[in-house]
Amino acid sequence: MDIRRSAHSLAKDGVGGKAGPYVADHPFVTRLNGLVPLDDNDLTALAPILGRNLVVKKGRDIVRESYVTRGIYIVKAGFAIRYKLLHNGKRQVLGLTIPGDIVGFPASLFKTAFITAVGIENVSLHRVAHDEFATICLARPAISAALLWVAACEAEILAEHITDIGRRAPIERLAHFLLETHARLRAVGLASASSFEVPLTQEMIGDAIGLSSTHVNRVLAELKREGLVSSQKRTFKLLDVDGLHSLAEFRSLFSSQERPLRPGSEVRIPNQP
């Protein structure tokens, strides 16, 4: 089935409609559809949610740690970071939240939030109350299946993040961070083949990968000196993708080989019970 067709069938005002919920073009739909194919009914179920816009200005919190949660938030446009603040004044950035992400999924299912999310530019998003979210999952199995995959990707990204900080050298961490950010943006159509633009400061990057901002600066300079990347202002170019890959041991979650299993395609593994 062609997703673009159903898109057009849903658009209220046809191709030119600009205020209407142009559902199939939404990065969230792009992402889910890339994991599990959605049909017209799925899109119809999502339409009311994705039609309600909410804008959080740059620098304002979207969710705040230890406050009661009011639902989940689907990001339409704009970037945010999720972080935890410690009593010693340090900050750990857990990740960049990009269009198509759900802020705090699955972590916002708890009664009170475990993280804070703040926009690093104006963020346009949709709030979905917990029970509305439940209703949709119940009614549309394809959507809940896709969300299970979202959770799996999320867990794998977090695991890789731990590995970065715990056991990789700073230059490898930074390379990995840049590759992962690029891959995620690419999956929702927000990056070209080898460059992307995100308003991340070196301090945010340091708080993400466990370095001081001054060391991020030195390590980034090193990557540039070796001709692996270039950056100016907020745009990063990956000049030598292969070099970066082997430096960072990066393995993309988004390659087609990692897609959901089909029944009946299992293979035996050596040294396996």
Residues near DNA (CB under 7 A) are 169-170, 201-203, 210-215, 217-218, 220-221, 233
End-to-end alpha carbon distance in the chain: 40
For the bound state, the minimum distance from the C-beta of residue 198 to a second copy, rounded and expressed in Å, comes to 19
Is residue 12 a contact residue for a second copy (CB under 8 A)? Answer: no
For the bound state, the minimum distance from the C-beta of residue 168 to DNA, rounded and expressed in Å, comes to 9
Is residue 38 a contact residue for a second copy (CB under 8 A)? Answer: no
Q: Which of 19, 88, 232, 242 binds a second copy (CB under 8 A)?
A: 88
- 3-state SS class at 63: strand
Partner whose binding site includes residue 202, from DNA, a second copy, none (CB under 5 to 8 Å by kind): DNA
Handedness of CA 148, 84, 186, 75 (dihedral sign): positive
Looking at the DSSP bridge assignments, the partners of residue 196 are 236
Partner whose binding site includes residue 14, from DNA, a second copy, none (CB under 5 to 8 Å by kind): none
Partner whose binding site includes residue 217, from DNA, a second copy, none (CB under 5 to 8 Å by kind): DNA
Partner whose binding site includes residue 10, from DNA, a second copy, none (CB under 5 to 8 Å by kind): none
Quote the strand ranges of the chain, DSSP E: 54-56, 61-63, 72-77, 80-85, 91-97, 102-103, 116-119, 123-128, 195-197, 229-232, 235-238
Q: Which of 109, 199, 213, 224 binds a second copy (CB under 8 A)?
A: 109
Q: Are 204 and 177 in contact (CB under 8 A)?
A: no
Quote the strand ranges of 86-222, DSSP E: 91-97, 102-103, 116-119, 123-128, 195-197
Q: Are 236 and 165 in contact (CB under 8 A)?
A: no
Candidates 5-13, 110-118, 179-187, 236-244: pick the segment binding a second copy (CB under 8 A): 110-118
Partner whose binding site includes residue 242, from a second copy, DNA, none (CB under 5 to 8 Å by kind): none
For the bound state, the minimum distance from the C-beta of residue 243 to DNA, rounded and expressed in Å, comes to 19
Q: Using CB atoms within 10 Å of the CB of residue 252, give its burial: 0 to 12 exposed, 13 to 18 middle, 19+ buried.
A: middle
Report the site for a second copy in 155-174 (rule: CB under 8 A): 155-156, 158-163, 165-169
Angle at 148 between CA 76 and CA 22, to 5 degrees: 30
For the bound state, the minimum distance from the C-beta of residue 131 to DNA, rounded and expressed in Å, comes to 38
Partner whose binding site includes residue 254, from a second copy, DNA, none (CB under 5 to 8 Å by kind): none
